Structure 1
Amino acid sequence: MLRTLKILVMSRTVLLSSLLAGLALAPAANAALISGNTNSTGVGYLYFSLTSDSPFQIFSITTSWDPELWLGNDDGDLTVDDWFANNDDGLEFAGDAIINTVLTAGDYIAAIGPFNFTAEEATAGTVGESFSQSFQLDVTASNSEIIVRDGSMVNNVPTPATLALMGLGLAGLGWVRRRKV
């Protein structure tokens, strides 16, 4: 009986320790929801930096227009050659754009504009017509801090893996506490 009790206490301690270690060792992740508006000629920009190499995702959220995204290096002198990724969902009247890639530490620029938005238009900052719209960009870098450099409103959001680990840790604590009573 005493041996069974000792094993039960040890297994609870091991479980609790593993859950807490899982919470403490969860991979750092950064996500931000950035709100903005395109300029009067239809182009919106986000200037940001990553502090380390990281898988990266940028996703546009719009309600009344179909955006296209461009992602490029921000070396201080924007040219067409700085753009290295773009995405549009392929539909002319609906949907949002998403870019998934791996970025190295450094400075970047994202441009958002309407459907069929070109690299030349992203560079020039105009789509050649009056087009002013609001947008949100959901930006995630799983292994890096995201530093937004343009004064946009940033709302940090927890990543699902962090929330899952925290929930698992709290459930473990509740289970251990319940078993003690």
Structure 2
Amino acid sequence: MSALAAELGVGRATLYRWAGNREDLLGAVLSDATEWTFRAAVRDVDARRPGPTGGARVLAVLDAFMHRVVDAEPLRALTAREPRLFVRLATSPGLIESRSAALLRALLDEEVRAGRMAPLLPVPVLAQAIVRIGDGPLYAHLLGGGEPRIDEALAVAAVLLGLPPGDLGPIDTPGAR
């Protein structure tokens, strides 16, 4: 915060008044980055010709988004330095989760209004469920679970969207045969 205050040419007290504490500021930055990343994923999917529609479009956006998150070098650097802080900010109720759910809700609403999907759950509930369920597999590497498991998150999202879960291949589940 001291370095940022100096870079901005303000005192630390002024920066804290503007931004709150360090975690608040980091949460706001990560929330904005979430939106930019999500919107880039939507643009990537919508640039396909022919592009997917309905639940398939939502699933394709989620896939592109999650891969962008996992591949983001600045995020990797942050999670290498402060994995617990990132996990707390990204997976707890707050700016990042609410922004993620709002973005997904808007995408779902767009598909519903266009008549391309009819979800079995109310859109706000569906969006929140997909965000919350996706966090575990997406951030598995930070939660002690090896590598990110994007395919698992997408399979669950597919089922929630009323789509077939696709080929997950072998899933290492205790007791599974």
Q: Given the two structures, how large is their TM-score scaled by the length of structure 2?
A: 0.22
Instruction: Answer 1 or 2: which has greater strand percent.
Output: 1
Structure having greater relative contact order (Cα 8 Å, sep ≥ 6): 1
Q: Given the two structures, how large is their TM-score scaled by the length of structure 1?
A: 0.22
Larger Rg belongs to: 1
